[in-house]
Amino acid sequence: SVSINLRNTKKPEENGECMQLKWEDKAAQSLLNKLIRNNLVNTTNQVEVLQKDPNSPLYSVKSFEELRLKPQLLQGVYGMGFNRPSKIQETALPMMLAEPPQNLIAQSQSGTGKTAAFVLAMLSHVDPNNKYPQCLCVSPTYELALQTGKVIEQMGKHYPEVQLVYAIRGNKLQRGMKLQEQIVIGTPGTMLDWCGKFKFIDPKKVKVFVLDEADVMIATQGHQDQSIRIQRMLPKNCQMLLFSATFEESVWNFAQRIVPDPNIIKLKREEETLDTIKQYYVLCNCKEEKFQALCNIYGAITIAQAMIFCHTRKTAGWLAGELSREGHQVALLSGEMQVEQRAAVIERFRDGKEKVLVTTNVCARGIDVEQVSVVINFDLPVDKDGNPDNETYLHRIGRTGRFGKRGLAINMVDSKMSMNILNRIQEHFNKKIEKLDTDDLDEIE
Ligand code: ADP
């Protein structure tokens, strides 16, 4: 396998200078998705392509053979169980592997094959006979860099001449040394120091520069500036590649500063709808009554697997305790858990080891557990100002067309305020949420 050169990689201090919670949340979310994802997100949406030169032909491949990869790499790709390129890879790969190299900005949701695509591009472009860095890849955090490193290791399994090194805080090198590894992956600050201050890397010899998770990256000013400073040291003909899961204005502005004359690929998210969901609400007076209503529902209908959302950690913890006292196998997902612990909980739930997952609103954002047929909002989703969080509501209970299975959503209402939130959600989606009488549950099935 690719020999990984991990010199003294201590986990960097987490309480860094300008880390904001929001940024940490984004990075953690992204890592969580990587840890629990074991296959591609399918999509029926078409990719949108904007070519730098609209007159040049647009190539798209349906197989990995068409790419004329080095046999060692093709073996690596098949070894990972990939049969054919993913939707985004169909167009991104020929663009990235073209001669002369083309720059690319690509956006698609997590799990659609971006990492595998740029890893393949990096491995294809290195010359293993040259013992100096030729590909640089920057990621927002140490942990995310390690995840990408693992993919390089897997895909390059049959290409042991290519070596990899991590440019991350804590990885201290001797002054004056020159790196021999062809691929360097790391965080922007250390990468910048290694190119500039310490000169471990000669940036003028770099052929490919990858900026991953641009949306997470720009959430700190520091990372954005450092990335731009690295980019400026690179030769003009260096291939620049930038990837992002989302594309707000700010990400787009940053992308254009990093990647000159880009081709652009965008893959829309599959739309979620409430059409195949039966939505109900239950009227209660307090959380104990909500719990009682929940028990009644469990007594009346067969629920294979349910996710229950609470507003606070305290409520989630309390509810999980009450439910397990009732004999349910409960998993609890909570904000104070390490990302790896959270991933383990979600995996167990996905494997059906637990039937109920109780979680806080923040914790489960962006996590897809497709087989769940019942979603219970023990507390309704609200934003920090107490307004209905329609987007979260939709993402939580909505289904994409592909998983057109019928679902059931039950909302617990316990005050005038929450009734008002419910009404506003109902108006927003223009979909009736029916009242459910938990003492008489015949209508529900
Ligand atoms: P992203 O970077 O967009 O989040 P990844 O490259 O990490 O997506 O891919 C998501 C998952 O799909 C990973 O488990 C990866 O191994 C797998 N995968 C990627 N490309 C393919 C492919 N062409 N065929 C099958 N699985 C793939």
12 prior amide bond cis, ω within 30: no
Are residues 272 and 45 in contact, defined by beta-carbon separation less than 8 angstroms? Answer: no
Q: Which two tokens stand for residue 214?
A: 């641009």
- CB-ligand 1 contact for 112 (6 Å cutoff): yes
**Residue 266 pLDDT > 80:** yes
Instruction: Quote the pLDDT of residue 438.
Output: 75
**Residue 329 pLDDT > 70:** yes
- CB-ligand 1 contact for 188 (6 Å cutoff): no
State the pairing for strand pair 183-186/306-310: unpaired
Closest alpha carbon to 383 in 368, 367, 358, 361:
361
The Cα-based distances of 243 to 217, 246, 429 in angstroms read 10, 9, 32
In ligand 1, the atom with minimum distance to the C-alpha of 83 is: 24
- What are the residue ranges of helices labelled H in 63-141? 71-79, 87-97, 114-125
Q: Which two tokens stand for residue 236?
A: 């003009």
Instruction: Quote the pLDDT of residue 137.
Output: 98
Strands, E assignment, 311-443? 330-333, 356-360, 374-377, 399-400, 407-413, 434-435
Minimum mean pLDDT range among 177-186, 348-357, 395-404: 395-404
**Residue 203 pLDDT > 50:** yes
Minimum mean pLDDT range among 36-50, 137-151, 157-171, 230-244: 36-50
Query: Residue 209 forms beta bridges with which residues?
Result: 136, 240
Other beta carbons less than 10 A from residue 102's beta carbon: 20
- What mean pLDDT is predicted for residues 201-215? 97
Q: What percent of the chain stands above pLDDT 70?
A: 90
Q: Which two tokens stand for residue 195?
A: 């190119």
Helix (H, G, I), strand (E, B) or coil at 208: strand
Q: Which two tokens stand for residue 305?
A: 């697997």
Instruction: Quote the pLDDT of residue 1.
Output: 32
Angstrom distance (rounded) from CA 275 to CA 258: 41
Are residues 295 and 326 in contact, defined by beta-carbon separation less than 8 angstroms? Answer: yes
Are residues 165 and 179 in contact, defined by beta-carbon separation less than 8 angstroms? Answer: yes
State the pairing for strand pair 183-186/135-138: parallel
Closest alpha carbon to 52 in 124, 102, 14, 97:
102
**Residue 214 pLDDT > 50:** yes
Instruction: Quote the pLDDT of residue 3.
Output: 39
- What mean pLDDT is predicted for residues 35-43? 79
Q: Tens of pLDDT along 277-301?
A: 899 999 999 999 999 999 999 888 8
Ligand 1: distance of its center to the CA of 87 in Å? 10
Angstrom distance (rounded) from CA 213 to CA 262: 17
What's the complex ipTM?
A: 0.99
- What mean pLDDT is predicted for residues 163-190? 96
Ligand 1: distance of its center to the CA of 395 in Å? 22
Are residues 306 and 374 in contact, defined by beta-carbon separation less than 8 angstroms? Answer: yes
Ligand 1: distance of its center to the CA of 81 in Å? 10
In ligand 1, the atom with minimum distance to the C-alpha of 110 is: 4
pLDDT band at 399 (very low <50, low <70, confident <90, very high): confident
Angstrom distance (rounded) from CA 152 to CA 281: 48
Minimum mean pLDDT range among 67-81, 326-340, 351-365, 417-431: 351-365
**Residue 400 pLDDT > 70:** no
In ligand 1, the atom with minimum distance to the C-alpha of 212 is: 2
Ligand 1: distance of its center to the CA of 344 in Å? 20
Q: Tens of pLDDT along 343-386?
A: 888 888 888 899 999 998 766 665 666 667 889 999 999 988 99
Angstrom distance (rounded) from CA 158 to CA 146: 20
Q: Which two tokens stand for residue 215?
A: 């949306």
Are residues 156 and 2 in contact, defined by beta-carbon separation less than 8 angstroms? Answer: yes
- What mean pLDDT is predicted for residues 100-120? 94
pLDDT band at 22 (very low <50, low <70, confident <90, very high): low
Instruction: Quote the pLDDT of residue 250.
Output: 92
Q: Which of 32-46, 361-375, 395-409 has the highest mean pLDDT?
A: 32-46
